[in-house]
Amino acid sequence: MLKAQIVPVTGFSQNCSIIWCDETMEGAFVDPGGEADKLLDVAKKLGVTLKKIFLTHGHLDHAGGAQDIREKLGLPVIGPHKDDNFWLEGIEAQAAQYGLPGLRCVEPDEWLNDGDEVTIGNITMQVYHTPGHTPGHVVFFEPTHKVAFVGDVLFKGSIGRTDFPKGNHADLINAITSKLWPLGDDVTFVPGHGPLSTFGAERQSNPFVGDRALASANG
């Protein structure tokens, strides 16, 4: 059974998720954006044996702690899609601009593509390439428990920004409606920032990608 603990990190209050299989107690970080020692301490207290690091996209607040953790534990960094490589290569320059010391560039051990699967213990998650916020953004979906880790694609009541380099609003809307909505209204999602929600709740009330909002936009 999939278990998860959310740990906010960095000045951006980014939701890093510690996920694990409760049968094997093998686990992974999803988007360790920084404060590596804090994350490792929480994982240790949970009794999780860390095996992998998963990245949804290349922004510093999601990937900036991955290199430190990889060096400390020898874990592979998996994801995002290769189109986010320029973001991962620029983490240290971004961190300097925002005054966030200690965040480091990272080169993944494995890039991910739409349709891939990743595993942790006895848990298998499906990978969806969801460009728009960044060109190489991916989402991790666990179908048994209907949980999605969506990074900065979708939030409770909002969507990801698209004014960053290589962002694209139309691509983001298409990714949400064509990749996420078909997974089901009962899917709970963990966003990169802020509270959890469900796809169904967002379809009802989200002012950017709710069904009524999109119907009005399409006239």
Q: With contact defined as beta carbons under 8 Å apart, do 99 and 127 qualify?
A: no
Domains, the chain, with CATH or none: 2-217 (3.60.15.10)
State pLDDT tens for residues 134-182.
Answer: 999 999 999 999 999 999 999 999 999 999 999 999 999 999 999 999 9
Read off the pLDDT band of 219 (50, 70, 90): low
* DSSP letters for 70-125: HHHH-PPEE-S-GGGHHHHHTHHHHHHHHT-TT------SB---TT-EEEETTEEE
Cis omega (within 30 of 0) on the bond before 135? no
Cα–Cα dist 51/206, whole Å: 36
Kindly give the pairing relationship between strand 154-155 and strand 158-159. antiparallel
| Range 184-212 burial, b when 16+ CB lie within 10 A, else e | eeebebbbbbeeebbbebbbeebebbbee
Residue 124 Cα distances to 52, 63, 68, 121, 146, angstroms: 13, 22, 26, 8, 12
Cα–Cα dist 19/21, whole Å: 7
State pLDDT tens for residues 47-93.
Answer: 999 999 999 999 999 999 999 999 999 999 999 999 999 999 999 99
Q: What is the CA radius of gyration of the chain?
A: 16
pLDDT at residue number 100: 87
Mean pLDDT of the region 88-110: 95
Cα–Cα dist 205/209, whole Å: 8
Query: How crowded is residue 118: how many other Cβ atoms within 10 Å of its Cβ?
Result: 19
This prediction has a pTM of: 0.98
Distance of CA 93 to the CA centre of its chain: 21
Read off the pLDDT band of 183 (50, 70, 90): very high
Mean pLDDT of the region 201-217: 94
